[in-house]
Structure 1
Amino acid sequence: MSPVAQGSAIPSKVFDTASHSLDEKKEHVAVEAVRELPSGASSDADTDDDDEGVPDIPAHLAISLSHVSRNLSRRLSQTNSRAPGGEELEPAQKKHQHRPKEFSTVTAEITFIAVCSMSLMMFSFLIGNVTANQQQLRDALGLKNAEIPWINGAFTTANGLSVVISGSITDLMPPKGLLVGSFLGITIWHVVGVFSITPDLKILFFVVRALQGLFVGVLVSGSISILGRVYKPGLRKNRVFSAMAACAPFGFWLGLLQGGGLADHLKWVYGSNAIISGAFCLAAYLSIPDLQPVADKPGQKAVSMRQFDYVGAALAITGCVCLLFGLTQGSVVHWAPYTLALIGVGAAAIVGLFVAERYVERPMIPTTLWQVKGFMPLMLAYFLGFGTFFGGWQFFAVQFWLRIQGAAPMTVALYFLPNAIVGVLATWIVSRILHLVPGHYIYATSMICFTMGSVFFLPQTPTTSYWALGMPGVALVTFGPDLAFAAASIFITSNVPRSYQGSAGSLLVTNQNLSAAIFTSIAEAIGGRVDAGPEGEIGLTGLRAIWWFALASQLVAALITIIWVRIPKEEEKEHAS
């Protein structure tokens, strides 16, 4: 066939390619391609009539169009082969880098990510804003020193109750209504909280804290469920989950700042929070897509509430509530028999949950997750590392600055500024390298960083400068929870089907809640036994005993990670099935 006849078959292919490409790329790509056309392209070959029904075109135009096709393909290939940060992508990765179909604009996607990230920020924010000002809350509510743990205990106990089942519920029904309703519930109970900060209404105050924890639990598991469904495993998901993880340290610091700044105006802590959560309630209504439940496996029907695991939920609720209540109350009443009984019932219920999940039609957590290599050691290391970070270092670092060094609440809030800055940096690092290096390197680094809090606080005295040991300790220890949460959440949600994203996320948050409660109680017992004051406050010797215990537990977590945890590089792929 002559070149002219060959050229006559080119136009449809060329225009199809150009049309498809220009839908996704900027128009200047085509302009640049045309600029590179060779001048005077022509052909003297004879025409041929083999292709009937296709009109002949001049040879020089056919060859020019061929050049357009090749230049477009080359330029679009170069553009597609790079991620947003500029690194080269494998061919299989390219199709996952586009904006999810649920969002028509980048602004809509960013707003959606901000709303979902607010759930994790709200969790740490509502803990931080009662931490630096805990002495003022004690006086305003007429509490004893031994009752202070319940300021956060009421929140975390209810949070553990809701997280353990709300993850599964958000997988089985449209999650938008749950999240919008949770933001609305938080707003309402913040308004109630304004009027509860008096000795006569301290029970109402603890009810407010509990209901805040309940709604925040739904927010956290629901947000993880939605993000996990919208984003397939890969680079874009890494960055979205890392952005969400960055909100935890930043939220805790903002909470400290708010609580410290309003320590003498406690009612405004709750009044300002009502305004913030109300604004995010509106943003959630406008930005969260109307997702529907999906099937566990391709070809099956979408899941529904008819498949909810009521037996597992009952056992999980019983286990978590009894454990969290027994552990929190145990340190208050010096481990009265009823607290030990509650702990025993809770432990038995958790064991019963693992047994029952083997026989139900659709377990709350897919059984395949427990069989993923490295999953169990990962969860154990996270339990030890995060539990001793929150319950063995962070809470008592605040106690050290407030009581031992006599710092003001606002000063303590500013002491944690490195926590916010380094937390954002840590999650940014995860987003950039999780697809380049095996995840267990990041996870092992996080476990080693957990030890830095105890290492830098053990030598401190009442006169030690913040800049000498406190600041570097806060900065380095922050890498622990933020690297660990980002790596663990991406690993877990990438190894379960789309229909189990919320359940997988709730498993990690439940791990956090239980570990924090258990290690706070153990630390209180250790500190109280070693060095307890007349009103139950723990002295410096007791604090050091707690930090030694935390350091030993964190070293065990690092050892477990190094020996047994293996997390492959995150790859572009479909959800697990």
Structure 2
Amino acid sequence: MTSSTEEKSNFELPSNPSSSSQDAEGAQPSKTEDAYPADALPFPRRTLFIASVCMSMFINQLGLCNTLTTLLIIGDSFGISNGGTLSWFLAGYSLTIGTFILIGGRLGDEFGNKKMFVMGMSWLALWSLVAGLSVYSSHVLFVFARVFQGMGPALTLPNALGIFGKSFSEGPRNMAFAWFAASAPFGAMAGFVFAPLLAMAWWPWIYWSQAIAVALVAVFAAWTIPDLSLQEEDRNLTMSQRLDRLDLPGGATGVMALVLYNFAWNQAVVVTWREPYVYVCLILSLIFGALFFYIETRRARHPILPVSAFTLDIGFVFACTAAGWATFGIWLFYAVQVCLNIGGQTPLQLATWFAPILVTGVASALTVGKIVGRVPASYIMVVGQVAFLVTSILQALRPPDAIYWTYFFFATIIATIGMDTSLPAAIMIFSSTVAREYQGMGASIVMTLVNYSISLGLGFAGTIETNINHGGQTTADLLHGYRGALWFSVGLTGLGTILSLVYLFKTQFRPKSNGNH
């Protein structure tokens, strides 16, 4: 196993190499301040800076949860009641986040993290406005607006991590990351509470108010985030050199593969697999995927995804993370559907039911921020997978008429532990396994996997639901379909738990000279 110091440095995003060597040699304060501009900020300004950057995670979760409990209200206004179509209101948002995060991170590396962060917020504000205006058109425009909304967090999330990594020295950096994770439950609760309240007036105000708030965050971030200069060699690059470093062929084929694969599975929920174009999209996705891997391994001089650097350990990390977070998306969507469509709960009542995530989510995130580097990441990964597994089992077994203080209460508490342990553990393991030059991609790759898995998991679960619910004509049929999807999530996260245990045993019995964890 590595020492705690090594684990701590592996989790963090890489800092300026020159500044690291200067610190080790006793650099002058002025140089350190130049290397880590946020360290020199007054406490009030530093607090505002951290808060504005953490708004990217807050708004990301807000954008997911403000639609989750109001799906039926929005669907009714468009005359839509099909569960497969409604799931697109969520899946489309997560699809583009997961698909474009890697590209968003690469754009930040080449053109500046702060610039891409502000552009991402501005983009999200624009398409939040369009999402509200879609009330005058159709659900098709609303789905497209949700898809384009997702490109905003795809820019802000990776660049927020990049900003923290370049702005803070080693000590404050870990806690900045911890607060970043802790902002997620606050965003989720804001979506759960304010969306139903605004829908009482008119549901478009959910998105118009979001557009106004996000536009203000963009302006605020432009002021609070310190200017982060590019490396000297990066500043002198020509535009053609920058385009070469962006790996446009790899990015284009990768995006097409991810979008078409996800579209095929989620659209099959709506029109079934009998439609030829669904199969065509699936086949094309596999072709583009093969092209992507060929370009990344054989042609790209600056690959957007370092496929050749991946090891068996990375395979375990990817599989566990995908299984856990796909499970989270399924659990969240179908637990809410059971409550709203069968249990008779209201959106506001559900908001109060999810309230414990504020306490457990923040506590879990800050605890991980403290213990990261002291506890091997393989142990933290197992804890996260077991938490996801227990949550899924509780929700799959929960009777629709059960009181809150049994299944739902405990499932909500345990789920936040799964979220706030699995993500940092995956980043730590990825960073400690790949070569140094690829460590900066760690957070972006893991977050790509997280968001894409949520969207794809909903497609898999929706296919199961629609094929076993006999058309959902009765309450019993609806419940049967929901339970099928929830039991699928149990199997999925059960697989993730087994893989995390295998990885744990693999690292424990690995010779110390050959392994990190």
The answer, yes or no, to whether TM exceeds 0.5 is yes
Match of 2:174? 238
1:287 partnered with 2:224:
yes
Map residues 347-366 of structure 1 onto 2, 5 A cutoff: 347-359=286-298, 360-366=300-306
Pick from 197, 210, 213 the counterpart of residue 276 of structure 1.
Answer: 213
Note the C-alpha offset of 1:369. 4.7
2:266, 2:460 within 8 Å by CA — same for their partners in 1? no
The separation in 2 between residues aligned to 1:295 and 1:503, in whole angstroms, is 20
Pick from 479, 488, 510 the counterpart of residue 448 of structure 2.
Answer: 510
SS at match of 2:402: coil
2:465, 2:482 within 8 Å by CA — same for their partners in 1? yes
Q: 1:182 to 1:484 in 2, by over 3 A?
A: same
SS at match of 2:112: coil
Larger radius of gyration: 1
2:113, 2:163 within 8 Å by CA — same for their partners in 1? yes
Pick from 288, 302, 315 the counterpart of residue 376 of structure 1.
Answer: 315
Pick from 36, 45, 63 the counterpart of residue 101 of structure 1.
Answer: 36
Q: 1:533 to 1:557 in 2, by over 3 A?
A: same
**Identity level (%):** 24
Once the two structures are superposed, residues 303-353 of structure 1 have per-residue CA deviations (whole angstroms, 9 ceiling, x without a partner) of: 844422112111111111111221221111012221122122223322332
2:262, 2:459 within 8 Å by CA — same for their partners in 1? no
The separation in 2 between residues aligned to 1:222 and 1:438, in whole angstroms, is 27
1:228, 1:501 within 8 Å by CA — same for their partners in 2? no
Pick from 548, 552, 572 the counterpart of residue 491 of structure 2.
Answer: 552
The separation in 1 between residues aligned to 2:473 and 2:153, in whole angstroms, is 33
Map residues 192-203 of structure 1 onto 2, 5 A cutoff: 192-198=130-136, 200-203=137-140
Amino acid of the structure 1 residue aligned with 2:115:
G
Q: With CA pairs under 8 Å and 6+ residues apart, which has the higher RCO, 1 or 2?
A: 2
Match of 1:54? none
The separation in 2 between residues aligned to 1:293 and 1:498, in whole angstroms, is 19
1:171, 1:499 within 8 Å by CA — same for their partners in 2? no
Match of 2:151? 214
Match of 1:72? none
Work out the number of aligned pairs and report it: 471
The separation in 2 between residues aligned to 1:536 and 1:279, in whole angstroms, is 46
Amino acid of the structure 1 residue aligned with 2:36:
K
Map residues 102-501 of structure 1 onto 2, 5 A cutoff: 102-103=37-38, 104-105=40-41, 106-145=43-82, 146-198=84-136, 200-231=137-168, 234-264=170-200, 265-294=202-231, 304-335=242-273, 336-359=275-298, 360-366=300-306, 369-371=309-311, 374-391=313-330, 393-492=331-430
Note the C-alpha offset of 1:95. 8.3
Q: 1:296 to 1:420 in 2, by over 3 A?
A: farther
Q: 1:294 to 1:170 in 2, by over 3 A?
A: same
SS at match of 1:289: coil
Amino acid of the structure 1 residue aligned with 2:296:
E
Return 340-349 or 411-420, whichever deviates more. 340-349
The separation in 1 between residues aligned to 2:360 and 2:483, in whole angstroms, is 25
SS at match of 1:541: helix
Note the C-alpha offset of 1:137. 0.5
Q: 1:93 to 1:457 in 2, by over 3 A?
A: farther
Once the two structures are superposed, residues 163-190 of structure 1 have per-residue CA deviations (whole angstroms, 9 ceiling, x without a partner) of: 2422212112222222112212222333
Amino acid of the structure 1 residue aligned with 2:286:
A
1:449, 1:476 within 8 Å by CA — same for their partners in 2? yes
The separation in 2 between residues aligned to 1:344 and 1:293, in whole angstroms, is 41
The separation in 2 between residues aligned to 1:490 and 1:287, in whole angstroms, is 28
Note the C-alpha offset of 1:147. 1.4
Return 462-471 or 515-524, whichever deviates more. 515-524
The separation in 2 between residues aligned to 1:154 and 1:522, in whole angstroms, is 14
1:405, 1:462 within 8 Å by CA — same for their partners in 2? yes
Note the C-alpha offset of 1:354. 2.4
Once the two structures are superposed, residues 19-72 of structure 1 have per-residue CA deviations (whole angstroms, 9 ceiling, x without a partner) of: xxxxxxxxxxxxxxxxxxxxxxxxxxxxxxxxxxxxxxxxxxxxxxxxxxxxxx
The separation in 2 between residues aligned to 1:114 and 1:548, in whole angstroms, is 38
1:171, 1:503 within 8 Å by CA — same for their partners in 2? no
Amino acid of the structure 2 residue aligned with 1:249:
P
Note the C-alpha offset of 1:513. 2.9
SS at match of 1:458: helix
Amino acid of the structure 2 residue aligned with 1:334:
T
Note the C-alpha offset of 1:225. 2.5
2:117, 2:156 within 8 Å by CA — same for their partners in 1? yes
Amino acid of the structure 2 residue aligned with 1:364:
I
The separation in 1 between residues aligned to 2:433 and 2:224, in whole angstroms, is 27
Amino acid of the structure 2 residue aligned with 1:113:
I
Q: 1:545 to 1:440 in 2, by over 3 A?
A: same
Note the C-alpha offset of 1:381. 0.5
1:527, 1:542 within 8 Å by CA — same for their partners in 2? yes
The separation in 2 between residues aligned to 1:170 and 1:140, in whole angstroms, is 39
1:439, 1:567 within 8 Å by CA — same for their partners in 2? no
Note the C-alpha offset of 1:293. 3.5
SS at match of 1:195: helix
2:461, 2:485 within 8 Å by CA — same for their partners in 1? yes
Q: 1:235 to 1:505 in 2, by over 3 A?
A: same
The separation in 2 between residues aligned to 1:546 and 1:147, in whole angstroms, is 16
Once the two structures are superposed, residues 261-295 of structure 1 have per-residue CA deviations (whole angstroms, 9 ceiling, x without a partner) of: 22322122122212211221112101223223348
The separation in 2 between residues aligned to 1:379 and 1:450, in whole angstroms, is 16
Return 234-243 or 147-156, whichever deviates more. 234-243
Q: 1:170 to 1:562 in 2, by over 3 A?
A: same
Note the C-alpha offset of 1:507. 1.5
The separation in 2 between residues aligned to 1:161 and 1:329, in whole angstroms, is 17
2:380, 2:421 within 8 Å by CA — same for their partners in 1? yes
TM-score, normalised to structure 2, is 0.83
